[in-house]
Amino acid sequence: MNHVKPLSLSLSPLPVPPPRVRTEMIYNGMPARELGSEGWHKPWSGGNGGNCLEAMKLDDGRIAVRQSTDPDGPALIYTSAEMTAFIEGAKAGEADFLLS
């Protein structure tokens, strides 16, 4: 009689993604920490010693922006259309007055 040893698998648990804030509870000026620490990006970092804006795309398509030096401070919430208008305007030079 052949005895087959049962195969023993040890699987690591999958990481649990952080809970997301329900989109109807997200509002302009809310504490950025309530949006969690995952998913923030620094698309506009430069030679300013790390003081820059961080952005996060929310599940409903809106964009949250926070100050990297104050990650618990307020998050500004923009629609995709608002952010597109801002970026396109900046690329077209409409915000150049801020640099002088």
DSSP state, residue 61: S
Rounded to two decimals, the pTM is: 0.71
Q: What is the pLDDT of residues 6-45, one digit of tens each?
A: 544 445 555 544 556 677 789 999 999 999 999 999 876 6
Question: What residue spans of the chain are helical by DSSP H?
Answer: 80-91
> How many whole angstroms separate alpha carbon 79 and alpha carbon 61?
7
Sign of CA dihedral 32, 35, 36, 40: negative
Are 95 and 89 a contacting pair, CB within 8 Å? yes
pLDDT digits (tens, 9 = 90+) for 43-84: 766 666 667 889 999 999 999 999 989 999 999 999 999 999
